[in-house]
A and B are shown apart, each in its own frame.
Chain A
Amino acid sequence: KNEVEQSPQNLTAQEGEFITINCSYSVGISALHWLQQHPGGGIVSLFMLSSGKKKHGRLIATINIQEKHSSLHITASHPRDSAVYICAVGAGGTSYGKLTFGQGTILTVHP
């Protein structure tokens, strides 16, 4: 079993739909990262969070430390949101900075 599991692996939506991507992890973490990679592009950080909820524009990320679960929500989705979304967990202590990645969620938003 992978230490970081994302679901779904593939997601297709119509423009305007509300989207949720889930991430579960099985190890202790210092922080959880949500990353985005557009086709042909580099990996960009969307959020880093260790508790609660963060919001940036139409994107919302939540984390439940007790349940070892995080969600990324996209409101009013748009075709430009089409990308791979990756959840990664950061280790703590002497392993601080090391990231363990989920397999990614491929999101396609149709106009």
Chain B
Amino acid sequence: SAVISQKPSRDICQRGTSLTIQCQVDSQVTMMFWYRQQPGQSLTLIATANQGSEATYESGFVIDKFPISRPNLTFSTLTVSNMSPEDSSIYLCSVLPGNTEAFFGQGTRLTVV
């Protein structure tokens, strides 16, 4: 199993600024996944964060907008850069240690004004 601590739980930010979201896992995992849930939509994968290599981004997401760090096997950050109101969403990190069920952070509810 895995327990994920995600911070912050919510934030209200001014447009044009950046917010960094952190996820700390209580065990070592190879891959961490970052998801976004826009209002009324299902969760969508932003990128996969691997330790020691560049993150892999899904179609429609770019590193300049969502830079990711993965300094070790228990921690990752996602930054939402140059924010606009369209970035208002819930952001989630997730891991699947081994061939097991998925574990999720509590989510970060971001509002851009």
Contact = CB atoms under 8 A, between A and B. Distances in A.
Q: Are both chains from one complex?
A: yes
A44 B35 CA distance: 15
Contacts of B48: 97-98
A93 interface: no
A45 B33 contact: no
Of the four ranges (under 10, 10 to 19, 20 to 34, 35 or more), the interface on chain B belongs to 20 to 34
Interface residues of A, number: 21
A103 B42 contact: yes
How would you classify the secondary structure of chain A's contact residues: helix, strand, loop or mixed?
strand
Contact of B102 (A48, A102, A104): A48
Nearest to A95: B48
Contacts of B41: 103
Given A42-B107, A43-B92, A90-B96, A98 B102 contact: no
B64 interface: no
Nearest to A2: B42
B103 to A, nearest CB: 7
B33 A99 contact: yes
B35 to A, nearest CB: 8
Contacts of A2: 42
B102 A99 contact: yes
B31 interface: yes
Interface in B23-54: 31, 33, 35, 41-45, 48
B100 interface: yes
A35 B107 CA distance: 15
A99 B101 contact: no
B104 interface: yes
Given A43-B92, A45-B101, A97 B42 contact: no
A88 B105 contact: no
Top 5 closest A-B pairs, CB basis?
A45-B101, A101-B43, A43-B104, A42-B106, A48-B101
Interface of A: 2, 4, 33, 35, 42-45, 47-48, 86, 88, 90, 97-104
Interface of B: 31, 33, 35, 41-45, 48, 92, 94, 96, 100-107
9 contacts: A33-B102, A42-B106, A43-B107, A45-B101, A48-B102, A90-B96, A90-B102, A98-B48, A99-B94
